[in-house]
Each structure stands twice: as structure tokens, then as C-alpha cells.
Amino acid sequence: MKREIKFRAYSSHNHKMYPVSNIEWDIDDHIWVTADDGKNGIELIDEEAHLMPYTGLHDKNGREIYEGDIVKNEYGKVMDVNYDPRSAAFGVGDYYFGTIGSGKILEVIGNIFENPELLEGKQ
């Protein structure tokens, strides 16, 4: 099974989400992210670029699911997508994608950077 590896980045400077085309580390251990703004590549550095890996899954509407997305399940429960290094798996709440139908019952409704208010009233 081939897994597509890709990222998106939220720029805290521009307050905008970008698809990532390249990630590099310099000699001082700074992360440089080249993102696509639709015109030219832009460079983001360290704390300005919040990287979010693609989970390899799609929601019930076919939208790609990334770490940091906010999703709603079929019962209306709102949760954020996170990575658990102990199990090396992406999940929402107490569930890992392997146990919740690979994302098919979820709907992406936002993300933690652009829509944090969606998590304030979690059901």
C-alpha cells in the first residue's frame, strides 16, 4: 500500500493556510517551508509555519483530512485530529482512524488555527 506524504502549513504571520512544496532545515536547525500561494512560492520559518501532515484519509465528502483539522462525527461530536506518537497513529478524541472507519464517518468542518471557536463548544 502506497501512502501519499504531504503537508500543509498555516502561517501565523499571514493568517493563511498553504499547501507545502518543500521543507528544509538549515545548519542552525531552523525549519524553512516553501509554500504555494497560488502565484509564487513563499518561505515560512520556524514558529511562523505550523506544519500539518496529511493523514492519507478523506472525510465523508472526499475532503483530505490533515492533523489539526476539526471534524464532526455522525453523532455531531466535534473533535480535532491529532497524532499519537505512542501508537504511531492519527486519531480523534479517544479513537484511532483504524477503529473509526478510516474517516468515512467524519466531516471536516474547520481547523485549529482558522476555527478554534469550533472546539470551545465541543459536544
pLDDT over 90 at 73, yes or no: no
pLDDT band per the 50, 70, 90 thresholds, residue 109 = very high
Strands (E), the chain: 7-11, 16-25, 31-36, 41-45, 49-58, 64-66, 69-72, 78-84, 89-92, 95-96, 107-111
Sheet holding 41-45, edge to edge: 41-45, 31-36, 16-25, 7-11, 49-58, 64-66
Strands 69-72 and 64-66: unpaired
Q: Residue 66 pLDDT more than 90?
A: yes
- SS3 of 88, please? coil
Using 50, 70 and 90 to split pLDDT, how confident is the model at 39?
low
Q: How confident is the model at residue 52 (pLDDT cuts 50, 70, 90)?
A: very high
- Residue 111: per-residue pLDDT: 96
Q: Supply 101's cell numbers.
A: 472507519
